A and B are shown apart, each in its own frame.
Chain A
Amino acid sequence: MKQILIQDTNGNLRKELRDFLVSLTSQLRDRSLADTVQVVTVADIGIYQKGIVAKVLPEGFVYGNLEVKHIPEIIEKTIQKGEKVAALALDRKNKQMRIVLRNCGRINPECFEDYVACDGYQGLAKALEMGPEKVIEEMKKSGLRGRGGAGFPTWMKWNITRGVSGAVKYIICNGDEGDPGAYMDRSVLEGDPHSVIEGLMIGGLAIGASNGVFYIRAEYPLAIERIQKAINECYARGLLGKNILGSNFNFDVEIRLGAGAFVCGEETALIASVEGLRGYPRPRPPFPSVKGLWEKPTAINNVETLANVPYILFHGGESFGKIGVEGSTGTKVFALTGKVRNSGLVEVPMGITLREVVFDIGGGVFNNRAIKAIQTGGPSGGVIPEQFFDTGIGYESLQKLGSIMGSGGMIVLDENDCMVDISKFYLGFCVDESCGKCAPCRIGGTQMLAILKRISDGKGEDDDLKKLNEIASAMQKASLCGLGQTAPNPVLSTLKYFDAEYKAHVVDKKCPSGKCASLVTYSITKDKCTSCGMCARVCPAEAITGSRADKYTIDPAKCISCGQCFDVCKFAAVLRQ
């Protein structure tokens, strides 16, 4: 039995696809192949904007931009002889590379044997053989940098903590993932909990800690459940506790829950929260590696960082270091969301371009709208407009563009997204989440948000943009912790790249994307209106009235400028001004 998988990858070839399918099935019937070849239309063939695409199984040949005239050749060569039609073939290379997500979706996360079958705990066994110094040496070779956002070299963090003397040390797994739209850590904790535990144990061995803490936000109940099950399983088998794998290494792990405060992702606030105190950051130094949890030397690593560790130990730091680019090695998991066709998690080698991630893997923008930018790094990051999409992903390269790698949120923005609105959203998030301890963050954030609100309400004043810049730079310099220091970033980067859009709001009192409700008015042009009544049906404010005979009109007094009539009208009769 052979299969031909078929999809219209442009999304607008309904008629062509129908003709192709009719012709293909009838030609297969003519050659008496109908019983041995199944033609299947599929939901997503993994290729985009290549017209009608067919994949022939079991050979796996993929053909693109197909027309009816190509059918005989495909049948004669591929179906009957198993040969490739080179002229039609598409080069389909999987651009993803799975290290962190190596087991996610492949193993049963609640099954210890499944993890062990995929080389689980072999990295730990190797680390125990090597001893702490060599583990750190191996991590140095790998070039692994923290995946939580800042990108501090993991080996260096471990080496510093190792070098501080103290009988009791701690290693903490930071699972307080808080960026809007980012959920990589949740998926790893849920899909492969043992890999994070193994990473934590190796880290503990390296720094000389015999206590590990999982700090996970309470909003992740399934992740907590699976980590707890995995920990219990390890204790039951003697893989946690005393004399692990017959060595003299002892290690205990416990889970602490965070109440979902964004600031508790910051390491000093996280430590306070674990100690049962209010989640306030404190000035550094002393750094946690010197004085951390219960005033003992502490290393804090992100979930994704730790999930890399067993792989590095098992396969060797050198081979890991060859993946990616100079300075940014290995892979990075991104949570691709927003106006993208395939939202979900992608893991790519560093150095891959943003365009490849958004278009080749993500499938481009939903509804074939024009892309405007992507937002990376959450509320601490910034936007990257389309002209820079050929930049290779790396810690420094994204920083140069005014954004950051961050923990891995990547939100796709299209032409309907207003940049003032976006920066208002992110800043609003930080203002909500600010702990209020230091004035620059507490007052600066609130003032900036007030200005942004004013601008989007059409009451922006001439020197507002200047004021935004001034307050932002004060916040960056004077805030106590990373939250306040980076909160202005989304505003600054949108100001940098979309200055004209801000000016349109302030000077012309217009929102080019039609997002800011007070700056747009909707009306219906009578001669284009076909009286279909769709607009009146979707209007949530009952502002649209009319009938088949009189056509429809919008009552500006009732209109809330939500734009639903504009989106639903197929005849471009709704005007947005």
Chain B
Amino acid sequence: MGIMKQDLDRIKEESGKNVSKNWIRVGYSTCGVAAGADVVYQVLSEDAKARGLAVEVKKCGCVGMCSAEPLVEVNVEGAPHVFYGKVTREVAHKIMDEHVCQKKLVENHIFEL
């Protein structure tokens, strides 16, 4: 028996409840990967794990600001929700250090949509 309409509704409802408050999304389409998103994703997820932070690092598609890739969207409690562009390994570390831990925004890499 395949999935039914009520199953869709149930999945929708459950995922609404399970949304974590702290997350980081890394643009992981061709444009992002070509610009180095794989390294950024790796650094962010390893960093989060190593420090034992309650922040979920996720992959997503392209939001459209291809010239600013690799693009990282950060949403953690206690700091504004922003996009960081042209993120390198160093910037990724800074995002974890300053934004996620100290709740301070990282200089010179914010891109507004």
Contacts and interface: CB of A to CB of B under 8 A. Distances in A.
Contacts of B109: 42-43
A281 interface: no
A241 B2 contact: yes
A245 interface: yes
Given A191-B29, A238-B3, A104 B85 contact: no
Nearest to A106: B60
Contact of A344 (B12, B30, B64): B64
Interface stretch (A108-116, A136-144, A165-173, A371-379): A108-116
Nearest to B9: A122
B52 interface: no
Q: Interface residues of B toward A: which range?
A: 35 or more
Output the residue of B15, B58, B61 with the most chain A CB within 10 A.
B61
Contacts of A117: 11-12, 15-16
Most buried by A among B1, B66, B109: B66
A134 B103 CA distance: 52
Contacts of B2: 237-239, 241-246
Interface residues of A, number: 59
B98 to A, nearest CB: 10
Contacts of B12: 116-117, 119
A45 B110 CA distance: 8
Contact of B110 (A42, A245, A347): A42
Q: Which of B28, B60, B63 has the most CB of A within 10 A?
A: B60
A85 B94 CA distance: 33
A500 to B, nearest CB: 33
Interface in B1-42: 1-5, 8, 11-12, 15-16, 25, 27-31, 33
Given A38-B105, A105-B25, A222-B30, A44 B111 contact: yes
A101 to B, nearest CB: 6
A43 B62 contact: no
Contacts of A109: 28, 59-61
A105 B80 contact: no
Given A1-B103, A105-B64, A117-B16, A187 B29 contact: yes
11 contacts: A1-B78, A43-B110, A44-B68, A44-B111, A96-B64, A117-B16, A121-B8, A125-B5, A183-B30, A187-B61, A245-B3
Given A105-B63, A117-B12, 15 more contacts: A3-B105, A5-B112, A40-B107, A43-B85, A43-B86, A94-B113, A104-B63, A106-B25, A114-B15, A117-B15, A125-B5, A186-B30, A245-B3, A344-B65, A345-B62
